[in-house]
Structure formats: structure tokens, C-alpha cells
Chains A and B, each alone.
Chain A
Amino acid sequence: MSEPFLEVDTLCKSFGGVTAVNEVSFEARLGQTVAVIGPNGAGKTTLFNMISGLLPPDEGQIWLNGQRMDGNPPHKVADMGVARTFQNVQLFGNMTVLENVMMGRYRYERSGFIRSALGLTHQEEGQTRAAALRRLKRVGLADKAGLAAPSLPLGEQRLLELARALAAEPRLLLLDEPTAGLNAVETVRLAATVSRIRANDVCVLLVEHDMSLVMSVADWIVVLNYGEKLAEGRPEDIQNDPRVVEAYLGQENGNSAA
């Protein structure tokens, strides 16, 4: 196995008196899909927000490919090759489907203010548009490219957000409850897309409540409960771990509303 690509080292985060994340550590490798699971309120999204630079950790460190990442603002984190989707879909509602994916190509574009003002960006625009369209074709949304993004049903909005994240060709991809609120058909479609990502040497971190998706897609599972790491291991081992089962007692196993 290769060197760890992502290292999360004793991360801590509190909000006022509430400890959201307490000394969480784990690793992930390129080509590996790590699922982060746990009951609601276990600190999964807070963990994601720290990794993507939206929240600075109180303590602890985050390393990406040997470089310190914690403390970087989100756009710098993006520059390091990290992309993410959100629990509540964050599309650009004022743009079309295609334009949303074009935004995913932002860090590959080079035109600054002067070039843009002088109208010299034609070639770059064409390249970005072509790359975005290819990406849309791969998730099956190419026929809706010209539509306003909010006009899509939720399942396709999540696919679109995923396409935008993939357009950035990230090395670390964070997916925050990508199947939340989706029906069975939409879930299958999204799961298929997520499985295809695995082939590309990308490190995927996945927060999910849908256990069948987690079991089929994850190589490794980290279980959080009340902000602490409860257990980690291969899917088969976690499935049978009594501590994990107990933590989920009273929770529904399967799809849960976001």
C-alpha cells in the first residue's frame, strides 16, 4: 500500500461549550474510499468543514501529501487538489447546469482581470466549456446543459454538484451525504457514479447514512460518535463490531432524511 495521502491528526473543535470533534485521527490513501459514519451530531460535517478549510481546528493538524493543510482558507485548500459536495446542495442557482460545472474548472483557468477586460479569453472559455460538457456527459446530464440549475430535481442537482467537484480533477474528494433526500432510483444512479470515481486514483472521503451504499463502496470505515472516533476498520469488521451496533441502536439503518 502507498503512503497515506491524507493524515488527520488529533483534530479538536468546540463551539462554545459543546465539543463537536474530540481528538479525531485517521489516514486515507490515494485510490482508497473511506466512509465516515456515525449517528447524527457525531461531528462528521464539522470534520469535513475543517478538512476543506471552512473551519479552523482548535487543535490538531491536517496533512495532505506531506503538506500542512489546516489553517489554509478554503480557496487555498481547493488549490491543493481538494473538492467537496455539501449536505445541503450548494449549486450556483443563478447559473445554468453547464456554467456550474465550468466553475469546477476555475483553478485550471488562467485569465486574470486584465485579460478578461480586454476580451482575450475566447480560447480559454472554449476549452473550459468543452471540458465541462465532457464531464456532464459522463454523469448523464449533457442534455440538460442549458437549463437553469435550480430547475433540476434534487437527484440531478446532487449529480450536478458531484460533476462540478469532479471537473476540478481533485485528488481528495469529500462527499457529504450525497444520497440524502434521494429516492431509490436516484440513489442507485449516484452510487454508480461514485463507484466509477474509485478507478481514478482519487482519495474519496464519504459521509453517508445509507449503509448499503457504504458497504458496497467503502474500502475503510471510520466510525464517529459524540465527536470521538469509536472504531475504524474494514466494512466487514465494522458491520459486526458490537460498539458500532450499540451506537446505532434506536437509529434507522438505511436511508435517513438529511
Chain B
Amino acid sequence: MELGKQSRRSTYQNVVGIIVLVVAVVAVGWLEIVQPFGLRFRDLTGGMVTFDTLIRIGIFTIVVVGLNLLMGYAGQISLGQAAFYGLGAYFSAIMTTLAIRHDVLPVMSRSWWWPWLAILGGMALTGGFAYLIGRPILRLRGNYLAMATLGVGIVLYTLFREGDNITGGSDGISGIPRLAIGEGLKLWPIERYYFLVWGVAILVIIIALNIVNSRVGRALRAIHGSEVAANVSGVNTTRSKLQILVVSAMIASLAGSLYAHFQALVAPSPFGFVASVTLVCMAAVGGLASIWGALFGVAFVFVVKEVLRARMHDLLHGAGGEHELIAYGLILILIMIFMPQGVVQGLTEIYQGWKKGRQQTTRARDKTESSPRYQLIDESN
């Protein structure tokens, strides 16, 4: 049956995508470690995109995959996702610095597995928090839901910034230790951490792809398509929306913890309104109802930013930081005008259109060559 083939093809595409991603990640990581002929990743990109940026792309991809499940599939707007990201980051930071300083559980807190436990604890805490605010908030729709999530984000950001004794206030928390497995395997320097981050990112992508292609994913899309029809089809929409909010929050928290152990410092600024909007932009640019779109959206936004920063003054003499921002904004606008479904869908459509165009030209050519009748009519004027 043709449709069985279609579903097998999309599973096949996903598997191929994962393999390509794994190969690319391993190849770049190997390049950075071995540095054959002194080559490093930044040399491949003319110095514009660094290895450091790749880790940030990985971390943000994790958050945006979760955001995609919530916004793209379930259709619930979140303008406060950076708050969940921040909760994970701060929880890991506090548990691995302050807890030690104040001698909380002295034996446990100095062991190698304590930071990992803190990551899990952060996910549980953030998930629980998302559950508590989700119950009242998810009754709202559209703009109202957007404003409510905006409010939650602002409240948490303010807590991060003003919680001097616990969160370190505007200065934040520094001296966050690196992660390690066992007594011997430290996940640092940066090349090692890169493999951790991208290993987690690939795992999250696989899980998200599984969810999307299953009954749960279909129910989420149904809620987005018509909540009332989903309800009468047997979907407990209240519970499903809450479930996906909690999952996306836990995923964001995980990414936040990875960020904390990468940066070794957490301060409030990466977790405010601008960060939440950037996350939504990345999701939209990549393509909202697409897990691969999350990866491409994050990569695209980062790369554009880096390229602009490196090349802006080549394009316009005397251009500076503000001009970068304008160019960046213009690019986002152009994408939304010409590819509103996101870059992944947009490029797919261009490719399919090009393929169809070639088929039609071939068919048209064949037609005119095999119909002499038209020529006769022309000549018998």
C-alpha cells in the first residue's frame, strides 16, 4: 500500500538524518581533538564559527526541541521558556557551589555523581514547577497564554536577579565545577564536553522524533488542529497539554544544567525575556512543527549571528554592533515573509518545486515533438 511506503520512507528519512548527524558530530569532534595538519573546526568556517559555538548550538537545540513539542505540535505558546532553562542552570549551580560552601551533606556533595544528581533534581524541580503553573495557565488560549508565560518568565528572571543570598544576584554564581564520570574521566577540556552535549542532544532528538510519530504526537497535533474535536475523540486535552509542558520544561532544565557546567558561571541575563524570544525565533525560523527544524533553526540563527559579527564591517564600512542587530532583524523578517513555515519546510518545497519543474519541462518537450498536427494547422492558414 502506498501509504505504508510513505510512513516507512519518513521513518527511513529520520534514521538517515540521525546517522548523518552522529557522523557529523563525531567527525568534527575528532577534527578538534586530533587537529590533522594543525586544522581546527574554526578553520573550516574561515574563523567565523568556533568550536565553542557548536556546543552552544547543541545546548540550545535541546531547549528548542522541547519548545517545538510544546509550540509546534501542541500549539501552546511559551514566551517564558528561558525561565525553565534558567531554573535548571541555577539549581545545578547552587547545588554544586553553595551547597558545598555551606557543607550540605558533606560526603555526598563532594563526590563525582553529585552534579549529575543535581541535574536530575533540577529536572524534577522544574517539571514540578511547570506542573503547578501549568494547571491554571493552560486554560488560557492564544495571546492570553502568551502573556501568562511572559509573566512567569519575568517573575523567575526577577527572582534570579534579586535572590542575592541564594542566586548571587546580578553577579550570579561562579566557580561551577566541571562534570566527570567516575573518579577518573573528567568531561573537560572542551572537546570532551562537546561529545557530552551533542550526545544528549541526539538522544533528545531521537526521543522527540519517537513521540511525534506515535499516538501521543498525533494527540498533540490534534489538540493544535481542533481542541474540541480532540476532546470528543477521547483525548484528555487538559492532561496532554500539561504533560507536554512539563516535558518541555524538564528538557529545558537539562539544557540549563549543561550550560552551567559549560560556562562555569550563571548570571541572570541569559534567562530573561530576550532569551525566551530568541528561543521562539529559533523555533520559528527552523519550522515549528518539525523536530529537525529545531536543529536547523538554532544552527541558522547562531551561524548568521557569527557571520554578521565577522563580516559586517566588510559589507558596510564603519558598521558596528547596532548594524549587526538591524541586519539580523532584517534576515528574520525576510525568512518569515518568504518561508513562513520555516527554513526546513521552505527548502524542501523549493527542492520539490525544482524537481517538478524539471519533470514538466521534459514532459512538455516530449509533447511538442510528437504532435505534428499542430504544425499542419499552422501552415494551412
Q: What is the count of residue pairs linking A and B with beta-carbon distances less than 8 angstroms? A: 119
Which residue of chain A is the closest to B219 with respect to CB atoms? A106
Compute how far the CA of A73 lies from the CA of B217 in the bound complex, rounded to whole angstroms. 22
Question: Known interface pairs A129-B7, A168-B234. Does A93 touch B225 (Cβ–Cβ under 8 Å)?
Answer: yes
Give the complex CA separation of A116 and B219 in angstroms. Answer: 12
Q: Is A236 an interface residue (CB 8 A)?
A: no
Are A121 and B214 in contact (CB-based, < 8 A)? Answer: yes
Q: Is the CB of A78 within 8 A of B234?
A: yes
State how many angstroms separate the Cβ of A36 from the closest Cβ of chain B.
Answer: 18
Contact partner of B211 (CB less than 8 A), chosen from A84, A116, A124, is A116
Q: Decide yes or no whether B231 CB sits under 8 A from chain A.
A: yes
Q: How far is the CB of A46 from chain B (nearest CB, A)?
A: 15
Please state if A52 and B221 are interface contacts (CB–CB under 8 Å).
Answer: no
CB-CB nearest in chain B for A143: B2
Verify if B334 is at the interface (C-beta below 8 Å from A).
no
Task: Say yes or no: is A102 at the interface (Cβ < 8 Å to chain B).
Answer: yes
Q: How far is the CA of A113 from the CA of B217 in the complex (A)?
A: 9
Interface string of A78-118 (1 = CB under 8 A from B): 11001110100011111100110011101101011101111
CB-CB contacts of A120-162 with B at 8 A, as 1s and 0s? 0100111011000100000000000110000000000000000
Is B377 close to A, CB under 8 A?
Answer: no
| Nearest chain A CB to B78 CB, angstrom units | 18
Point out the residues of chain A lying under 8 angstroms from B1, CB to CB: 133
Say which one of B183-191, B235-243, B308-316 lies at the interface with A.
B235-243
Number of A residues whose C-beta is below 8 Å from B? 46
Residue A74 interfacial (CB < 8 Å)? yes
Q: Is the CB of B289 within 8 A of A107?
A: no
* B359 close to A (CB within 8 Å): no
Q: CA A106 – CA B214 in complex, angstroms?
A: 11
Q: How far is the CB of A48 from chain B (nearest CB, A)?
A: 10
Asked if residues B234 and A146 are in contact (CB atoms below 8 Å), the reply is no
Query: Given A92-B221, A94-B224, A95-B225 in contact, is the A164-B4 Cβ separation under 8 Å?
Result: no
- How far, in Å, is A196 (CB) from chain B's closest CB? 22
B233 near A103 (CB under 8 angstroms)?
Answer: yes
B216 contacts the other chain (CB 8 A): yes
Find out whether the CB atom of A94 lies under 8 angstroms from the CB atom of B221.
yes
Docked CA distance A125–B62 (Å): 27
Nearest Cβ on chain B to A94's Cβ, whole angstroms: 5
Q: What is the bound-complex CA distance between A126 and B243, given in angstroms?
A: 25
Q: Are B234 and A75 in contact (CB under 8 A)?
A: yes
CB distance from A128 to the nearest CB of B (A): 8
| In the assembled complex, B3 has its CB within 8 A of some CB on chain A | yes
- A77 is an interface residue with CB less than 8 A from chain B: yes
- Residue-wise, chain B 220-254 has the 8 Å CB interface mask toward A (1 for contact) of 01101110111111111100000100010000000
Shortest CB–CB separation between residue B149 and chain A, in angstroms? 21
CB of A215 within 8 Å of the partner chain: no
A93 to B289, CA, bound (A): 13
Contact B214 A90 (CB under 8 A): no
A119 to B235, alpha carbons, bound, how many Å?
Answer: 20
Given A90-B229, A91-B229, A117-B207, answer yes or no on A103-B218 (Cβ-Cβ < 8 Å). Answer: yes
Assess whether B233 is in contact with A164, with CB atoms less than 8 Å apart. Answer: yes
When distances are taken between beta carbons in the complex, the residues of chain B under 8 Å from A74 are: 228, 231-232
Name which residue of chain A comes closest to B227, CB basis.
A90
Q: Within the assembled complex, what's the spacing in Å between the Cα atoms of A112 and B206?
A: 17
A 41-73 binary contact with B (CB < 8 Å = 1; else 0):
000000000001110000000000000000001
Do A133 and B232 contact each other (CB < 8 Å), given the known contacts A95-B225, A109-B215, A116-B211?
no
Report the separation of the CA atoms of residues A91 and B235 in the bound assembly, to the nearest whole angstrom.
15
Contacts known (A116-B214, A125-B7); A106 close to B225, Cβ less than 8 A: no
- Is B35 engaged at the interface, CB distance under 8 Å to the other chain? no
**Contacting pair B215 A124 (CB below 8 A):** yes
Closest Cβ of chain B to A143, distance in Å, is 10
Considering the chains assembled together, what is the distance between the CA atoms of A84 and B1 in angstroms? 29
Candidates B3, B217, B226; contact of A92 at CB < 8 Å: B226
Chain A residues with Cβ under 8 A from B216's Cβ? 111-113, 116-117
Verify B232–A77 contact, CB threshold 8 A.
Answer: yes
Q: Is the CB of B229 within 8 A of A125?
A: no
Do residues B218 and A99 form an inter-chain contact, with CB atoms below 8 A? yes
Chain A residues, Cβ within 8 Å of B207: 117-118
Q: Which residues of the partner chain B approach A54 to less than 8 Å between Cβ atoms?
A: 228, 231-232
User: B263 at the A/B interface (Cβ < 8 Å)?
Assistant: no
Measured between C-beta atoms, what is the minimum distance from A117 to chain B in Å?
A: 5
Residue B381 is within 8 A (CB to CB) of chain A in the complex = no
Interface residues of B in 1-25 (CB under 8 A from A): 1-4, 6-7
In-complex Cβ contact of A118 among B210, B217, B232 (8 A):
B210
Known: A93-B225, A94-B289, A117-B207. A106 touches B234 (CB 8 A): yes
Q: Which of B214, B221, B231 contacts A95 (CB 8 A)?
A: B221
User: With the chains together, A197 CA to B210 CA distance in Å?
Assistant: 36
Quick one: which of A79, A90, A99, A124 has the most chain B CB within 10 A? A90
The listed residue (B7, B210, B221) touching A117 by CB distance below 8 A is B210
B111, CB-defined interface residue at 8 Å: no
Q: Given that A95-B221, A116-B210 are known contacts, is A146 also in contact with B215, CB under 8 Å in the complex?
A: no
* Alpha-carbon separation in the docked complex, A104 to B225 (Å): 14
Bound Cα distance A75, B231 (Å): 5
A106-B229 in contact given A94-B221, A112-B216 (Cβ < 8 Å): no
Say whether A103 contacts B222, CB under 8 Å: yes
CB neighbours (8 Å) of A117 from chain B are: 207, 210-211, 216
- Please provide the 7 A-B residue pairs with the shortest distance between their CB atoms, ordered closest to farther: A92-B225, A116-B214, A78-B234, A119-B210, A107-B234, A90-B229, A74-B231
**Pairs across A and B, CB under 8 Å, 24 listed:** A53-B232, A73-B231, A74-B228, A74-B231, A74-B232, A75-B235, A83-B233, A86-B228, A86-B229, A90-B229, A91-B226, A93-B225, A94-B221, A103-B229, A106-B234, A111-B214, A113-B211, A116-B211, A116-B216, A118-B210, A121-B214, A125-B213, A168-B233, A168-B234
